[in-house]
Structure 1
Amino acid sequence: MTAFILVSETHTGGWIWREVAARLRESGAEVHPVTLTGMGERRHLAGPGTDLETHIQDVVQLIDHADAPQVVMAGHGYGIHPVLGAADRRPERIARIVHLDAGLPQDGDPALKLVPDQAVRDRLLHRSGEGAGQDAGQAGDDWRVPPPPLDEWQRWGSLAGVPADALARLTRLAAPQPVGTLTQPLRLSGAGSELPVTGVLCTANGPGIAMVELQVGLGDPRLQALTDPRVSFFELDTGHWPMLSTPGELADVLLRAAAGEGHRLSATVSEQPAHLRPFLMDVPERPRERVGNVDLHLPDAERPWPAVVFVHGGPVPAGVRPTPRDWPALVGYGQYVAGLGAVGVTLDHRLHDLSDYGRAAEDVAEAVELVRADPRVDGDRVALWYFSGGGPLSADWLAAPPPWLRCVAATYPILAPLPNWGPADSRFRPVTAVRTAGHLPIVLTRVGLELPEIAVTVEEFLTAAKDCEANVEVVDVPLGHHGFETIDHTGQTRHAVQHAVRSVLGHLRS
């Protein structure tokens, strides 16, 4: 027999699990939907001293009073913080921890760190008194965060699939959240670090399993623990509130997680990451010159040469080696265009986190100026070529193309913020910027086996481009995957690269 302890997102209480709990009980499970101190019908118990430790003790008490020998704890959003804190105190009672559309907080992390909206985080810091050197207990009467109004719940996570009556109930029953629960750091001794874990990914609000595998493959040491065979994953095709949008599917996933089922990354993440495999074409070796964070792949043709600047994707963890300009695909592109009479430019930019697009844009702009100033380069004939998560960096150039920019290319790009990015800087939205691109040639390579969350942004971009009659050429790769240059060595993918390169160089020479 299994006991499920269900801990939900900020401002909510045990009431939100009503339908899920009923279905779990039908299976014979013991179910404890948690209403934390100060939440739901217990809102009157909150005070200025109510903090994360208070909520951890609430969950510890439920563990101690559960009858079933096997306890599975599910933390939704904020709820993962008290779940992990309680598991650290009672690891011997816990069979599995389920991260339900929740982050991976570490020792010392406050829940505030994982709030997706920067504006919300700033308001919470102000309320906590941190901006004035106060702690939560010194914040006077301003120690509670009011729940969002009906039209602002999406700032806490996607509402995809939530019926209107359920959203109205969520708004009506929501309680103010004590600030201390969000700002007090989570303290973990490591006692629960060996417990089995399941991640339930809500794909309308964040990445799916394929995207997680892609990020793990980049070598981020923070994500290597996800390849442990004790870690499993499920996907739900819904937003951040599956207990309201897909309660039956969520109950089924929780039961399967308790049984040890789920997708495991250890069986699919290769010892040789995809991005470090050989380029799909054998290209003649060309001279390569390194200047700071920029590499120039040089041709033999008569000078001055046009240039193609290749902008890698990301975010790429800061400590990853080799860095992107040494990845086989980017080197392959640089060498390929050099062999065809243009300078191939690869660079490392500082897109290490979703908050880094601004400084990555600065790096790209500096690299472009360096290249254009090189006497071997024709500064009036330059193309910019973006890959994957580098796609948003194209927005500046699309919005106001300079006369020397002859073409923008993008291969399996992200062209609008993904659901888990939260409210993003409107500056980095190519789907908007393309409306003022005029007749600037755009060469877009679209893969048929794209990650769904990225494919949506590409189609949104193409719709916007069609509406404004932008000059877009689409190179389709029906059987190509994201990152196909090192994983799909087929005639179709080679032809796609050749076609895209010919198009870009043609615009440089016209």
Structure 2
Amino acid sequence: MTAFILVSGVFTGAHVWQETAARLAAAGAEAHTAALTGLDASRPATGSRVDLETHIADVVGTIDAVAAAAPGRDVVLVGHDYGIHPVLGAADRRAERVARVVHLDAGMPRDGVPALAAIPDQELRARLAGCAAPGRTDGELAPPADRDAWQRWGSTAEVSDAALDRLTALAAPQPLGTLLQPLRLTGAAAAVPTTGVLCTGNGVSIEMVQKLVDFGDPALQALAGPSVTFFELPTGHWPMLSRPADLAGVLLRAAAGEGHRLTPAGQAGPPAHLRPFLLEVPECPRERRDHVDLHLPGTGDPRPAVVFVHGGPVPAGTRPTPRDWPTLVGYARYAAGQGVVGVTLDHRLHDVTHYGRAAADVAAAVELVRDHPRVDPDRVALWFFSGGGLLAADWLAAPPAWLRCLAATYPILAPLPNWGLTGHRFRPADAVAGAGALPVVLTRAGLETPEIAATVEEFLAAAGRCAADVEVVDVPHGRHGFETLDPTDESREAVRRAMRSVLARLTA
């Protein structure tokens, strides 16, 4: 028999696991909830300082109690959200008693890094980091005040209003020490099998994680190890409230060693981002300046330019860097073959917290391009891809006169739920109201993930309300990254049509 120990996230206690625990028990497993000091009603704080080590001790105590009651049971630790931090700390101290660790829509905590780093709300994270004195771990963080405020902590998709109201009523202040104290790991739990349960409604999927592994970042290669499995749940960040039966089923399968295993980088041939471009495009002269490459047409006269802005986040150690990826180079050469300067660049969107500096990199690249003697500075187009779509917001909100067209291909046009971007800057759906007469060419992948597709529909609805000039190029059978994943006649015609539309507006 398997004994599950369920550890809740910020502001929450054992009550969130009630239905999931009942279903696990009905299936013949044991289900225990670890009461965390100061968060769970059964374990109130007694005036002493509560920090991450306090919660690690709470989980260790639960492990020891389960082991004492039933020696030899397989103990599976399940950490949701913040709960993965005390789970990993406890697994590190009781590795010999833990059969598996399950990350339930949770990150990958590292030794020496506090749970604060995993808070999705970037504005709140910065405020807490800025006001925390060295070594200070006292104080509390107030819980969400109403059902709508939970969205700042993760997608509430499929959670009923009644469940959100109960979540709010039972929420407890989070002791700041649990967020500010660094996690300390010895590495003892590194050999414990691991499962990640990803909630796609919160903006993450197995496909996304595989792409991160494919980038070759050494820190992520462990995710493709033989003892690591993954599951997806098509729901928001609180599956124990929205899909308790499905969650219980996934946990039982995880305990049995089932699940999807990732492919190590390079083992299945070139990853998607390094496969050939779908069009035959001739080479052309290339000039490299700083973080910018200019692919030049044959004529020496100043020509219009198209700047292609890659997506992300892309891990900092990725090689080759995006400006040398076949898709971006293919588009740039295709543009050069049509008589305009095609530009690729590298920007520093290595994490969802880096949109500000990535935007500065793009702005600097554009100025470099406009100053180039082969470029007509009054005829420039910007073309954004994937996660780079959020960077389009600045240009939509106040388009300069020289920006003749803005294009976006399978873009993300609103922050995904787990990105924690709470401000108004990187929201193209809000910014399009300022676009005026700026033409927009949007290439839409028909097989896009629902979460990204929803951001495109939000943008198009906003564009419709303000009568923005938007042309949509559809690829009905294309996936995100269709230029290398789906090199079909349909995909090729979509690329040609989008390029024709951009160049027609650029050269008019």
TM range (shorter): over 0.9
- After superposition, give the CA deviation of every residue in 1:170-207 in whole Å (9 maximum; x if it has no partner): 22222222221221111111111111111111122221
Contact 1:124 / 1:145 at 8 angstroms: preserved in 2? no
- After superposition, give the CA deviation of every residue in 1:71-130 in whole Å (9 maximum; x if it has no partner): 11100111111111111111121111110111110111111111111333345446xx63
- In the alignment, which residue of structure 2 is the partner of 1:71? 75
Contact 2:200 / 2:234 at 8 angstroms: preserved in 1? yes
Task: Measure the CA separation in 1 of the matches of 2:436 and 2:79.
Answer: 48
How far residue 333 of structure 1 moved from its aligned partner, in angstroms, is 1.1
SS in 2 for 1:99: strand
Contact 1:324 / 1:348 at 8 angstroms: preserved in 2? yes
Task: Measure the CA separation in 2 of the matches of 1:395 and 1:221.
Answer: 32
SS in 1 for 2:79: strand
How far residue 39 of structure 1 moved from its aligned partner, in angstroms, is 2.4
How far residue 267 of structure 1 moved from its aligned partner, in angstroms, is 7.9
Task: Measure the CA separation in 2 of the matches of 1:436 and 1:120.
Answer: 28
2:234 to 227, 233, 237: 237
Task: Measure the CA separation in 1 of the matches of 2:146 and 2:214.
Answer: 39
- In the alignment, which residue of structure 1 is the partner of 2:28? 28
- After superposition, give the CA deviation of every residue in 1:203-246 in whole Å (9 maximum; x if it has no partner): 22221222222222222333222111211111122222111121
Over 3 Å counting, the alpha-carbon distance change for 1:316 and 1:365 in structure 2 is same
1:144 aligns with 2:140: yes
Task: Measure the CA separation in 1 of the matches of 2:325 and 2:407.
Answer: 19
- In the alignment, which residue of structure 1 is the partner of 2:382? 384
- In the alignment, which residue of structure 1 is the partner of 2:132? 130
Q: Identity of paired residues, percent?
A: 66
How far residue 375 of structure 1 moved from its aligned partner, in angstroms, is 2.2
Over 3 Å counting, the alpha-carbon distance change for 1:494 and 1:223 in structure 2 is same
How far residue 452 of structure 1 moved from its aligned partner, in angstroms, is 2.1
AA aligned opposite 2:348: R
How far residue 144 of structure 1 moved from its aligned partner, in angstroms, is 2.7
How far residue 165 of structure 1 moved from its aligned partner, in angstroms, is 2.3
Q: Could you tell me the TM-score, scaled by structure 2's length?
A: 0.95
- In the alignment, which residue of structure 1 is the partner of 2:347? 349
- In the alignment, which residue of structure 2 is the partner of 1:373? 371
- In the alignment, which residue of structure 1 is the partner of 2:14? 14
Contact 2:212 / 2:315 at 8 angstroms: preserved in 1? no
2:204 to 184, 207, 210: 207
Task: Measure the CA separation in 1 of the matches of 2:382 and 2:99.
Answer: 51
How far residue 134 of structure 1 moved from its aligned partner, in angstroms, is 4.9
How far residue 423 of structure 1 moved from its aligned partner, in angstroms, is 3.2
- In the alignment, which residue of structure 1 is the partner of 2:92? 88
Task: Measure the CA separation in 1 of the matches of 2:313 and 2:176.
Answer: 31
1:101 aligns with 2:105: yes
SS in 2 for 1:15: helix
AA aligned opposite 2:178: T
Over 3 Å counting, the alpha-carbon distance change for 1:466 and 1:210 in structure 2 is same
1:248 aligns with 2:245: yes
How far residue 415 of structure 1 moved from its aligned partner, in angstroms, is 0.7
AA aligned opposite 1:116: P
Contact 1:229 / 1:266 at 8 angstroms: preserved in 2? no
SS in 1 for 2:195: strand
SS in 1 for 2:220: helix
How far residue 147 of structure 1 moved from its aligned partner, in angstroms, is 2.3
1:177 to 170, 174, 190: 174
- In the alignment, which residue of structure 1 is the partner of 2:463? 465
How far residue 286 of structure 1 moved from its aligned partner, in angstroms, is 0.7
Contact 1:407 / 1:504 at 8 angstroms: preserved in 2? yes
Mapping for residues 367-446 of structure 1, pairs under 5 Å? 367-446=365-444
SS in 2 for 1:256: helix
- In the alignment, which residue of structure 2 is the partner of 1:364? 362
SS in 2 for 1:479: coil
SS in 2 for 1:25: helix
How far residue 393 of structure 1 moved from its aligned partner, in angstroms, is 1.0
Task: Measure the CA separation in 2 of the matches of 1:7 and 1:336.
Answer: 53
1:311 to 309, 312, 316: 309
| CA RMSD, Structure 1 to Structure 2 (Å) | 1.8
AA aligned opposite 2:136: D
Q: Which runs of 5+ in 1 are unaligned?
A: none
AA aligned opposite 1:416: A
1:44 aligns with 2:77: no
Contact 2:221 / 2:264 at 8 angstroms: preserved in 1? no
- After superposition, give the CA deviation of every residue in 1:426-476 in whole Å (9 maximum; x if it has no partner): 111111111221221111111112122211111111111122111111111
Q: Which runs of 5+ in 2 are unaligned?
A: none
AA aligned opposite 2:309: V
AA aligned opposite 1:17: W
